[in-house]
Amino acid sequence: MVSLFISLYLLLTILIGFWAAKRVKNSEDYMIAGKNLPAFIVGVTIFSTWFGSEMIMGVPGYFVQEGAQALIIDAGGGTLCLLIVAFFFVRPIYRLNILTVNDFFKMRYGKRVETITSLILILSYFSWVASQLLALAYIFESLYNWPVNMGVVVAAGIVVLYTYVGGMWAVSLTDLIQAVVMVLGLGYILFVLNQQTEGLLKVISDQKEGFFNLFPESGFINWTNHLYLWMIFGFGSIVSQEIYQRVLAAKSEKKARNGVFIGAFFMFFVGIVPSLIGLLIYTIHPELIESNDGQNLLPAMVTEYFSIPVQIIFLGALISAILSTSSGAVLAPATVFAENLIKSNRTNLTDQQLLLTTRISVILMALISGGYTYFNDSIHSLVVNSVTLITVSMTFPFILGIYWSKSSVSGAWFGIIGGATVWFGALLWGTAIEPTLWGVVASLICMVSGSLLLPDNSHLKFLKETNNGHSRSHKG
């Protein structure tokens, strides 16, 4: 019964994707929904893209074992990142009339920087998508008794099918439906578990001292590593294509900004719900924490101890979260690949050829991501790995490129190469301070030093291009 309803839900998702395909007339429709999304859908689709398997299957187990600090990376860092983007980056990026964040790097620093940042960004998404496909494979294993490898293939096929035909329109519409299913489903599970225990407030008050302490133990190393937890998403995802793809899909600058604020609201208040559910589950059945290193805490509880209707509701919410994340995470690098690596080097590419190239890129991104699951079976580590390289190489060239007029092309190269090199060296050395922190500091120092030592007029060229209305638009 459960598997039948879930199968029907998956079929519905695919059909919505095909229905959304009717709106796709050109590559701009496919990549950024023709710049027609209202603020609420912008916010919901941002939230849905980030509220994936990690939040439901990864974080709750860590939260039960480690306390509130387990919430920092995802719910805390994700919310922080969206607030930073809304306050500081929506306005300047939206006004450029571009399709990808790498279009900004091209306008600000030139074609070669566009190419290297595109490769870095695409590479970062493979782990992110892989974590979602792996989570779906675990669900298919419990539902249909399929091997995990087979589940990954089927999961990739479903995501590719509706993303391929409908692009951002399909992603946005399915995200909206999936977000409703997620919120209602998780809310209902929380309500049911609250009735089966002494209540959430009582369970919270019974936790050991320090469980809800967000601050680390004293000591420089502890504080720097604590900072790293906030930085993983809070700082490292500022350059994420999936955010700006939705920002650029908004009807107006104001709707784009409001949409990111809405996404931040949902990210925080809905983001902590799975962990609270996990705490209630652990109170009733602490033995379930051993299930798959805690990654299966919620699914194991629901499938073993709840009625079929509740199982359907929960699995619908879980699959919704994963599908929405997967589709957005596949479309983002596919768009960058087609726009910044293919079209940028083939200026005679027609719009219909670009549209087809982007669709084929969706398949390619899913295939490579599926291959990643064979090398890592941890959802949590896959998610963390996905943002590291962007954080240490692209973040400061992006930020300073917008807000520091002295940023030069040489400085950008110094920042990209210096940050990545120091991070990799610290990783091999096994430093006590997180290697990512070394990489971020090195990127900033190299970026500033390179710009001061080798100045240029790239900022003036950038301003001239944007002020004269020569910002690259797809239709042009």
pLDDT tens, 310-329?
888 888 888 888 888 888 88
User: For the residues 238-246, what does the mean pLDDT come to?
Assistant: 93
Query: How buried is residue 378: exposed, middle or buried, by Cβ count under 10 Å (0-12/13-18/19+)?
Result: middle
pLDDT at 296: 66
Token pair, residue 196, equals: 């089966």
C-beta atoms surrounding 139 within 10 Å: 22
The band of 473, judged by pLDDT with boundaries at 50, 70 and 90, is: very low
Question: Which bin fits 168, alpha (ψ -120 to 50), beta or left (φ > 0)?
Answer: alpha
Contact 415, 163 (CB under 8 A): no
Give the pLDDT confidence score for residue 468 in this predicted structure. 59
For residue 81, the Cα-to-chain-centroid distance in whole angstroms is: 11
Angle between helices 148-196 and 111-144 (to 10 degrees): 70
* C-alpha to C-alpha distances, 134 to 227, 277, 292, 444, nearest whole angstrom: 29, 22, 13, 35
Give the pLDDT band (50/70/90) at residue 253.
Answer: very high
pLDDT band at 92 (very low <50, low <70, confident <90, very high): very high
CA 279 vs. chain centroid, Å, equals 25
What local confidence, expressed as pLDDT, does residue 293 receive? 58
Phi, psi of 250 (to 5 degrees): -70, 155
Are the C-beta atoms of 408 and 450 separated by less than 8 Å?
yes
pLDDT in tens, 200-212: 888 888 888 888 8
Residue 447: how many other CB atoms lie within 10 Å: 28
217 vs 265, residue with greater confidence:
265
Instruction: Give the model's confidence band at 143: pLDDT under 50 very low, under 70 low, under 90 confident, else very high.
Output: confident
Pair 89, 260: CB distance under 8 Å: no
Angle at 312 between CA 311 and CA 318, to 5 degrees: 85
DSSP letter at 291?
Answer: G
pLDDT higher at 158 or 376 = 158
pTM, whole model, 2 decimals? Answer: 0.89
Average pLDDT over residues 402-426: 95
Q: Which residues, at least 6 apart from 456, have a Cβ–Cβ distance to it below 8 Å?
A: 408, 409, 410
Q: What is the mean pLDDT of residues 327-350?
A: 90
What is the pLDDT at residue 476?
A: 39
475: pLDDT strictly greater than 80: no
In angstroms, the CA 449 to CA 413 distance is: 11
The residues pairing with 28 across neighbouring beta strands, listed in sequence order, are: none
Token reading at 54? 């990690």
378 in the Ramachandran plot: left (φ > 0), alpha (ψ -120 to 50) or beta?
beta
330 phi, psi to nearest 5 deg: -80, -40
> Which CATH number describes the domain made up of 2-380?
1.20.1730.10
Domain boundaries along the sequence of the chain: 2-380
CB 35 within 8 A of CB 248: yes
Contacts of 262 by beta carbon, 8 Å cutoff, 6+ apart: 39, 40, 42, 43, 44, 46, 47
Which of 84, 39, 441 has its CA nearest to residue 237? 84
CA distance 290 to 197: 21
In this structure, is the dihedral angle defined by the CA atoms of residues 347, 348, 354 and 358, taken in order, positive or negative?
negative
Q: Write out the two tokens for 348.
A: 């005679």
Nearest to 405 by CA among 437, 451, 466, 367: 451
Dist. CA 4–CA 19, nearest whole Å: 23
pLDDT of residue 385: 58
Average pLDDT for residues 89-108, to the nearest whole number?
A: 94
Share of the chain above pLDDT 70, in %: 94
pLDDT exceeds 70 at position 342: yes
324: which 2 tokens?
């929405």
pLDDT at position 345, please? 84
Burial of 429 (0-12, 13-18, 19+ CB in 10 A): exposed
- Find out whether 55 and 74 touch, Cβ atoms under 8 Å: yes
Give the pLDDT band of residue 348 (cuts 50, 70, 90): confident
Are the C-beta atoms of residues 54 and 61 closer than 8 Å to each other? no
**How high is the mean pLDDT of the chain?**
87
